[in-house]
Amino acid sequence: MSQHKLLPNNSGFTLVELMVALLIAMVGMFGVLETINVSLQQTSKNELRNEGVKLGEKYMAEFRGTPFDSIVGPYAFVNVTTSVRGAKKTFVVERSAATMAESTPGTASSKQLTVVVKWAYRNMTSQNRVVSVVARP
């Protein structure tokens, strides 16, 4: 006669094994979600910086196009609202001009033009500064 050993049915998971597996999966998913969040924040910061650079170059080109004798300060700042990633964002543009050299006392021969574009993102203020020099023609 042969003896048959009765083996317990071990074909499934226990509740503890299932809970541990779910916990490991959740930790992994939180890591993936945090990576996506950081990636979106960096993308937003980069797009805001690109828009700030673009605005700075635009306003500097306009500033350089001003006749030399008309470049006098002080200038009022300008609020520029533009769309970044489908949301309205306000940038502050400040312009200034300073005499660098004088050909005769009181007559500027060259001026330094500065355009500063500022914006805020997540309670941090950033800025882009564009500086150029123009000489009397």
pLDDT digits (tens, 9 = 90+) for 65-108: 999 989 987 888 999 999 988 889 999 999 999 998 888 887 88
26-46 pLDDT, tens digit per residue, is 999 999 999 999 999 999 999
Structural domain contains residue 118:
yes
Number of domains in the chain: 1
Rounded to two decimals, the pTM is: 0.77
Residue 109 lies in domain:
15-135
Structural domain contains residue 97:
yes
Structural domain contains residue 110:
yes
Exposure pattern of 85-122 as b/e (b: 16+ CB <10 Å)?
A: eeeebebbbbbebeeeeeeeeeebeebebbbbbbbeee
Structural domain contains residue 6:
no
Residue where the block lists tokens 């500097």: 60
Torsion sign across C-alpha atoms 56, 79, 98, 49: negative
